[in-house]
Amino acid sequence: MSKIKVNMISETEFTVKGHGVHTAYVEITEALKNNPKVEVEVNGQGKYDIVHIQTMGLYAMKWLFKPNVKKVVSAHLVPDSFLGSIRWAEKWRWAAKLYLKWFYSRAHLVLACSGSVKKELTEDMNLKNTDVLYNSINMSRYERTAEDRLKAREALEIPENRPVILGNGQLQPRKRFDLFFEMAKKRPDYLFIWVGGITFGQVLGADAKEMQSFVDQAPDNLLVTGIIPLEDVRQYYHAADIFTLPAEQENHPMCVLEAAGTGLPILLRDIWNYQDTFKGGAILAKEDASFLMEIDQLAKDPAYRSKWAEKSSLIKDRFDSKNSASRLIGFYEQLLDP
């Protein structure tokens, strides 16, 4: 049987890279390239069996009009994804919803990145051409030994016994970096590291000036890396003891998968989007005050930390990209079956 020819479309190859959509695209593309059933090009110009679209811009849009090829769109975004991410999104959310519905409806298949996203696509946008393909990563890339931890700390000049709390994501209101900032001020003995920056800049980033003021006023025990290459992120996971993401809106964040791959205990906000993905594998805090309480217990109680590090393996085992690539190829084969 001949290989399925896939054209993977992602505008992040030539635009902004410091966000989860880019990471999700990179991970699934690499996994597909390692599977003998498919032949993958990125932003190619030839003839293909499948065009798989990862982003929603004008370059990606033109592929929706290509004849004689099956179109798959990965739905990383819903209208609420823009709130607290891009400036004035609450004013144009309605337009974003119309555009996303139009874009998704032109595909033969829309693959939601989580069950909660599929629910929004089907119930809020009335789309019928949907299924679920969870975001995934190559978990082996993040695996850590005790020696890896020591090497990472030496490289970053972090004392071996200092508790390190890691966050990761764009600096934007919905991620609740303000809470991360306040926790750092209250616990000067811990080192707080946030991997990420203001991805959409001062012009488009939601509350960008406020986010920048947090960075400018950061206490000595809070390090904000800014936007760094994906391959450099792993070192910070290896150096960490605890991972937390206090975000109030997420779909299926890649950073949580990376933390699980490292074997870190994971602390998240208890939001409905996580019910079909991370529940059971992460501590889910219901209110702001619970975050620092949980971080203290994880930092001071080795047994509690070990318990939740072990539970994060539920996320690691479920969302490895090898499994996702096989499932995705199954979707391709269904579309191409005469």
CATH number of the domain enclosing 121:
3.40.50.2000
Asked whether residue 276 falls in the same domain as residue 163, the answer is yes
The rounded distance, in Å, linking the Cα atoms of 70 and 80 is 28
Same-domain pairing of 329 and 309: no
Q: What is the pLDDT of residue 90?
A: 63
Q: How many domains are there within the chain?
A: 2
pLDDT at 1: 63
Low-confidence residues of the chain, pLDDT below 70? 1, 18, 79-92, 199-207
Range of the domain at 30: 4-137+320-336
pLDDT for res 172: 83
**Cα(155)–Cα(132) distance, rounded to whole angstroms?**
40
Q: Which amino acid is residue 176, in one-letter code? A: R
- 70 and 210 share one domain: no
**Residue 249 · residue 271 · CB < 8 Å:** yes
d(CA 305, CA 326): 33
pLDDT at 96: 79
Rounded to whole angstroms, the Cα distance separating 118 from 127 reads 9
Check: CB of residue 24 under 8 Å from CB of residue 73: no
Output the pLDDT for position 35.
95
Q: What is the pLDDT of residue 15?
A: 80
